[in-house]
A and B are shown apart, each in its own frame.
Chain A
Amino acid sequence: MSSILGISAFYHDSAACILIDGKIIAAAQEERFTRKKHDPNYPHNAIEFVLKYANLKLSEVDQIVFFEKPFLKFERLLETYVAFAPKGFVSFAKAMPLWIKEKLFQKNLLFNKLKKHDENYKSDENIFFSDHHLSHAASAFFPSPFDEAVILTADGVGEWATTTVAVGKNETLEIKKEIHFPHSLGLLYSAFTYYTGFKVNSGEYKLMGLAPYGNPIYEDKIKSKLIDIKEDGSFHLDQSYFNYATGLTMTNKKFENLFGQKVRNPQYEKLTQFHMDIAASIQKVTEEIMIKLANSIREEYGIRNLCLAGGVALNCVANGKILREKIFDNIWIQPAAGDAGGSLGAALALWHIDQGNKRLVNLKDDMKGSYLGAEYNQEEIERELKAAGANFETLKYEELIEKTSEFLSNEKAIGWFQGRMEFGPRALGGRSILGDPRSDKMQKNLNLKVKYRESFRPFAPSILREDLPKWFELNVDSPYMLLVANINSDKKIEMTVEQRKLFGIDKLNIKRSEIPAVTHIDYSARIQTVTKDTNVRYYDLISKFKEKTGCPVIVNTSFNVRGEPIVNTPTDAFNCFMGTELDYLVIGDCILDKLKQNPKLKKDYTKEFELD
């Protein structure tokens, strides 16, 4: 038996993963344990969890691999400061002490932290370092159902690379070309995230969700001033508009002057049509680059399969467009496409590329539906619920599914906690909040009363795989909610002339389809397909809901409030349930009715977490 522990940490989304004989056994993000969103610290709890799940002590692990190379990153920092000098001195003075004191000695730092897991772990000789984008590429290719694929990774920045193209065949994977810092599609998108007043590294989703409310009227300005896009999709950013390479902000005064408004301060400035138009414009430019890149690599390598990873691969709207363009026959996207997935990719790269172990392609799903996190048995759930003071009833399986589907069809908001936790940013029916998509009020209610987040944000549908083509313009698996497609025209409710004239957020209240809660204002939806193979309970629940209502779709959003990491334990779930206006909590075989809970256990959850 051979085991590899993969670690990603110290930037954002720390995570750990364990492989045994090349098989993915467990993976988890540190934020779920520490309850601190995007926690960048050493993933002590995540490592403890994966070791426990694999029944291993750290001293029994054969290799440990970190997802990137700190020396290369340091080289990039120094060269960037030299290139931009004397600009950037403040940033240099802030960054260097940290590097000289700590980050440069990451092997030593890791070794000291690792020793705390097991006193018998005594040598750092089994610690290895992967390359940031190689880790992303490996996380996208090795678990994919393809024996050969071209892999496109794009994110903010790793060591030097911001975008890479690799070719994978069986157990080999080779990076063919790279675009280097400071020219970065991820950082360009993040610059606009910052400009529109959202948090960098977490608000990119909001910008994407905001885009359909606007018109891309700034597209030409972006393309003529900020970015030079070549026919093959490669690009060059005009650094005179940005401040991220040497400064402490993403954009500068020249950027503000170009668009005519200052950076939005979210504390007292509301989103306006201007911000929506900006969002629509940068989304369109991003899609154009991704499609051009996809076209050029399809032509250059002649391979029919595409794998995607890196933070930009979480832009499911762009992914959906690549799919619709039919550039590749098949597309597979790593569900933990951000840095958390780097832990997994680093481990897989070590196993296949460095150690040359044969790869058996799994046509079903090597990621196990991304259900790779912690799970709790019925006894543990009941023990935790009792300790929390919960009033619950335990039901038989059929009864549980029957009752939950009944509540759903009565427009109740339900917390759904079942099986293993998901790895990656999406809740996929393991730690989800569920609702009835047919309800007119559901999107607004869930956003404002349950999730405490901005009302413009869309919700995603989970749909039985076999019913997918009857409802959406899509007929491929999308188990990780990473593809966006439009609802079928026979389910659409076309806008009236008056409705068409409405601007931006006013469009939110228009009923857009038979399932308005999951239809965005441009008739699109971020789809999760559900099959019996990966999640029986979830499949049975949606099937029962379909039996009752004729609708094989339910609303699925992550089980958390704004700024909170997705719930991890039954206690987290109960706390979130009591702090929000969720009506029921279904956890293992237990059902909790809000009306039957001790009102003293209710808490003000709105201020519990820092807003993202």
Chain B
Amino acid sequence: MFDFIKEFYLFLKIRKKYWLLPIIIVLFLFGGLIILTQGSAVAPFIYTIF
């Protein structure tokens, strides 16, 4: 995972696409959330966030 983060950081740096970073972080956070909460339990959890 560390290698991946390093490579992805280098990619953003070379492409000068730092503005994509917030989108990617949110995607990963929600992705992780869905995996951790095993899908079906995620809906009520999201409702409380918003």
Do the beta carbons of A108 and B4 come within 8 Å of each other?
yes
Residues of A within 8 A of B7 (CB): 71, 107
Segment at the interface with B among A56-64, A93-101, A231-239: A93-101
Do the beta carbons of B31 and A75 come within 8 Å of each other?
no
Q: How far is the CB of B2 from chain A (nearest CB, A)?
A: 12
Q: Which of A75, A97, A105, A107 contacts B20 (CB 8 A)?
A: A75
Known: A75-B15, A75-B20, A82-B23. A101 touches B31 (CB 8 A): yes
Residues of B within 8 A of A79 (CB): 20
List the A residue with the shortest CB-CB distance to B17: A75
Find residues 82-114 in chain A having any chain B CB closer than 8 Å to their own CB. 82, 96-97, 100-101, 104-105, 107-108
Kindly state the separation between the CA atoms of A82 and B17 in the bound complex, as whole angstroms.
13
CB of B27 closer than 8 Å to a CB of A: yes
Q: How far is the CB of A39 from chain B (nearest CB, A)?
A: 27
Q: How far is the CB of B44 from chain A (nearest CB, A)?
A: 19
Do the beta carbons of A96 and B27 come within 8 Å of each other?
yes
Kindly state the separation between the CA atoms of A78 and B7 in the bound complex, as whole angstroms.
18
Kindly state the separation between the CA atoms of A97 and B31 in the bound complex, as whole angstroms.
7
Kindly state the separation between the CA atoms of A104 and B23 in the bound complex, as whole angstroms.
14
Do the beta carbons of B20 and A78 come within 8 Å of each other?
yes
Residues of A within 8 A of B17 (CB): 75
Query: How big is chain B's contact interface, by range?
Result: 10 to 19
Interface size on A (CB < 8 Å)?
14
Known: A100-B28, A101-B31, A108-B4. A71 touches B11 (CB 8 A): yes
CB of B45 closer than 8 Å to a CB of A: no
Do the beta carbons of B23 and A100 come within 8 Å of each other?
no
List the B residue with the shortest CB-CB distance to A75: B17
Do the beta carbons of B31 and A100 come within 8 Å of each other?
yes
Residues of B within 8 A of A97 (CB): 31, 34
Residues of B within 8 A of A107 (CB): 4, 7
List the B residue with the shortest CB-CB distance to A69: B11
Do the beta carbons of B11 and A100 come within 8 Å of each other?
no
Known: A75-B20, A78-B20, A108-B4. A100 touches B15 (CB 8 A): no
Residues of A within 8 A of B15 (CB): 72, 75
Q: How far is the CB of A459 from chain B (nearest CB, A)?
A: 47
Q: How far is the CB of A293 from chain B (nearest CB, A)?
A: 27
Q: Which of B4, B11, B23, B34 contacts A105 (CB 8 A)?
A: B4
Residues of A within 8 A of B20 (CB): 75, 78-79
Do the beta carbons of B23 and A78 come within 8 Å of each other?
yes
Do the beta carbons of A71 and B31 come within 8 Å of each other?
no
Residues of A within 8 A of B28 (CB): 100
Given contacts A71-B7, A78-B23, A108-B4, 10 further A-B contacts (CB under 8 A): A71-B11, A72-B11, A75-B15, A78-B20, A79-B20, A100-B27, A100-B31, A104-B4, A104-B8, A107-B7
Please give me the 4 A-B residue pairs with the lowest Cβ-Cβ distance, nearest first: A100-B31, A71-B11, A78-B20, A100-B27
27 contacts between A and B (CB under 8 A): A71-B7, A71-B8, A71-B11, A72-B11, A72-B15, A75-B11, A75-B17, A75-B20, A78-B20, A78-B23, A78-B24, A79-B20, A82-B23, A96-B27, A96-B31, A97-B31, A97-B34, A100-B27, A100-B28, A100-B31, A101-B31, A104-B4, A104-B8, A105-B4, A107-B4, A107-B7, A108-B4
